[in-house]
A and B are shown apart, each in its own frame.
Chain A
Amino acid sequence: MSLTSTATDTAKIITVNAARIDAVMAIQFKDDMREQAGDGPARVILDLSAVEFIDSSGLGAIVAAMKQLGSERKLDLAGLTPSVEKVFRLTRMDTVFNLFGSLDDAISTEAADPSE
């Protein structure tokens, strides 16, 4: 799986360079996320704009990635395509994560903390 990351002063941005996060990808995704998000700013933004499809394994892997960050850090999701957003909405995981329409939206609202 291909993840790339960049860091701003306040957030680490991790981009998923794959069209699917599915049963084939899920374990690799978890490992790669652990590597990419192991340290750095408290806020991690996962850019999902290239991802056209996730299944329940992929959703589970994203939840696992958030848990790995611990309670002091958080994982925000940006650029969800319609099918990906559907999975989050169906499972109500859209209430657990902060979802942003685009990476720009996520970056420009970086001061806000909706969890408080």
Chain B
Amino acid sequence: MSGKHTGFTHGFAATEHDTRGALAEIMMRLRIIGVPDEQAGGVEIAVTEAVNNIVEHAYRDVDRGSIMIRAGVTGNVLRVLLVDEGAELPGAELPAGRPANIDTALDDLPEGGFGWFMIRTLTRDIRYRRWRGRNHLRLQFDLIPTVG
């Protein structure tokens, strides 16, 4: 398998409901193309947060948007590309994704703002480009080869 490229493309409606089924399907296909079980959890968190951001922010004012995900494994690298036709990221830039401040009183603990930080922590590389009216978010993960 090493060195070979395997991949898939999956498109779905950007609603909370369709997203859940699509993510289950995508996780199944990621395992088939070689993402080991031990790493699937981290990949699932990062991809889910990226999809949530598209549904909640890029398509905030759109009833029926769509998301296209293309994933591929080459050697020990997993690349996941997410494409949507929603609003551009603010300032056309990736958010800094700073960790949420949790050194606060109980009442001030954050209930959100964890997403980009987790995406940045779980990926090796992340790129964003606005191109022809679409957002292209590219996540790259290192896969640790399993023995045997």
Residues of A within 8 A of B (CB): 20, 22-24, 53, 55-57, 59-61, 63-64, 66-67, 71, 82-83, 86-87, 90-93, 95-96
The answer on a CB contact under 8 Å between A90 and B41 is: no
8 inter-chain pairs at a CB distance below 8 angstroms, sorted by A residue, are A22-B48, A53-B45, A55-B48, A55-B49, A61-B111, A87-B45, A90-B122, A92-B99
**A92 to chain B: closest CB distance in Å?**
5
> Which residues of chain B in 60-105 are interfacial with respect to chain A, using CB atoms and an 8 Å cutoff?
99-100, 102
The answer on a CB contact under 8 Å between A95 and B102 is: yes
Closest-by-CB residue of A relative to B48 is: A55
Which residues of B have CB within 8 Å of A86? Answer: 41-42, 45
The answer on a CB contact under 8 Å between A24 and B45 is: no
Q: Is the interface of A mostly helix, strand, loop or mixed?
A: helix
Residues of B within 8 A of A (CB): 16-17, 19-20, 41-42, 44-45, 48-49, 52, 55-56, 99-100, 102, 106-107, 109-115, 117-118, 121-122
Which residues of B have CB within 8 Å of A60? Answer: 110-112, 114
Which residues of A have CB within 8 Å of B44? Answer: 53, 83
Which residues of A have CB within 8 Å of B99? Answer: 91-92
Q: Is the interface of B mostly helix, strand, loop or mixed?
A: helix
Which residues of B have CB within 8 Å of A55? Answer: 45, 48-49, 52, 115
The answer on a CB contact under 8 Å between A92 and B49 is: no
A-B contact count (CB 8 A): 75
Closest A-B pairs by Cβ, 5 of them: A83-B41, A60-B111, A56-B114, A56-B115, A55-B48
Closest-by-CB residue of A relative to B37 is: A82
Closest-by-CB residue of A relative to B20 is: A24
A67 to B109, CA, bound (A): 8
Closest-by-CB residue of B relative to A84 is: B41
The answer on a CB contact under 8 Å between B102 and A56 is: no
The answer on a CB contact under 8 Å between A56 and B118 is: yes
A91 to B114, CA, bound (A): 7
